[in-house]
């Protein structure tokens, strides 16, 4: 998944991430352009999943 694909899907995925992982806050899910690695790192800490697992999950949503 490239940066443009990630940005496009991100708006769709935020709500689903919050539903599945109740510990995530709006601050955790804020996404700024060029910060996908930082965001994935934060999600990785909160969910215990690898970056690849998270990317796969986002692709499925």
Q: What is the pTM of this model?
A: 0.56
Dihedral angle of Cα 11, 15, 17, 20, to the nearest 10 degrees: -160
Model confidence pLDDT, tens digit, residues 10-41 = 777 888 888 888 888 888 887 655 577 888 88
Give the largest CA-CA distance in the chain.
27
For residue 30, give its domain range: 3-60
Model confidence pLDDT, tens digit, residues 36-61 = 788 888 889 989 999 889 888 888 87
Count of structural domains within the chain: 1
Q: Which residues contact 25 (CB under 8 A, 6 or more apart)?
A: none
């Amino acid at each position: 998944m490239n940066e443009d694909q990630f940005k496009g899907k991100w708006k769709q995925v935020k709500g689903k991430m919050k539903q599945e992982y109740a510990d995530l806050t709006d601050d955790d899910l804020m996404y700024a352009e060029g910060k996908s690695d930082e965001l994935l790192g934060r999600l990785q800490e909160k969910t215990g999943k690898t970056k690849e697992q998270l990317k796969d999950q986002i692709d499925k949503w």
